[in-house]
Amino acid sequence: MKNQPANRGPRRSRPDTAATNPIPKSSPKAHTKTSSKATPPHPESGERIQKILARGGVASRREIERWIAEGRLKINGITATLGTRLNTGDHLQINDRVVHWEKFAEQPTRVLLYHKPTGEVVTRRDPEGRPIVFRRLPPLAIGRWIAVGRLDINTSGLLLLTNNGELANRLMHPSTEVEREYAVRILGHVSEATLATLKEGVQLEDGLAKFDEIHATGGEGANKWYNVIVTEGRNRLVRRLWESQNVVVSRLMRVRYGPVVLPEWQRAGAVYEINEKEQQLLFEFAGMGKNTEA
């Protein structure tokens, strides 16, 4: 990664294609109640419950699997188990409420790039009445938007959202170690020794953490810009790492999530929906095909 001229400010991303292409080509004891009238679920055919419901944005696959383990799902009156599949005509209930799951079977995947401004929160309801990210998004006829990771209220930049719960789960799962790149404005000088410490690892209250990469990208006067990369999604990790070394962060912006970069032309508060070709690249990165069972 090359250094930026001092007067350029935060750099959005390393790839040269960032300004026009957000995804460069080069770039994871239930109680069973039976009924004489109930039709048992088909064990081999159909699709797994968690895959269909996650695809429809009901919840993440892992959360749905937990619901199944807790005995909260029934198919044709019979409590579902992990591995149970849905077939055409099956009657599904979650917490005894009917779910018309068929509408999720052919649910087309949509993925949004949202340039989150500071001051907005990534939540569906906020008791303090602060601006909410989800109110800025286009409505969905089926399902709901799922945020891929979070950004705190004082962090701006790239927020990925999708209606495909399986895709969101793959992109957020710790085992995938997806790179998150941030542009950080620092107040004051940072020594080489401090930068080395941040790359070697710092013991935080929730465990050891580090920056995988740190690159100086310019700045003027007392403000210096760095691009840093982490592969974890812990809460406020980037800020906490800098603050552990008594470094003041005056601005923080996420510029990349995995292969997806924040386009330089996308203003704060704007939404960009990726096209089919870009979407397929994202599916490939996540290790899944649109019609492949995960």
Q: Which of 195, 270, 209, 214 is nearest to 237 (CA)?
A: 209
| Residue tagged active-site, from 16, 126, 152, 212 | 152
Determine the straight-line distance between the first and last CA of the chain, rounded to whole angstroms: 35
Q: Is 206 considered catalytic here? A: no
What tokens does 145 get? 């938007």
What tokens does 97 get? 């409420």
DSSP letter, residue 244: H
b/e code 138-177 from CB counts within 10 Å (16+ = b): eeeeebbbbbbbbbebebbbbbbbbbbbbbbbbbbbeebe
CA distance 66 to 58: 13
Quick count: other Cβ atoms within 10 Å of Cβ 187? 14
Active-site residues, by number, are 152
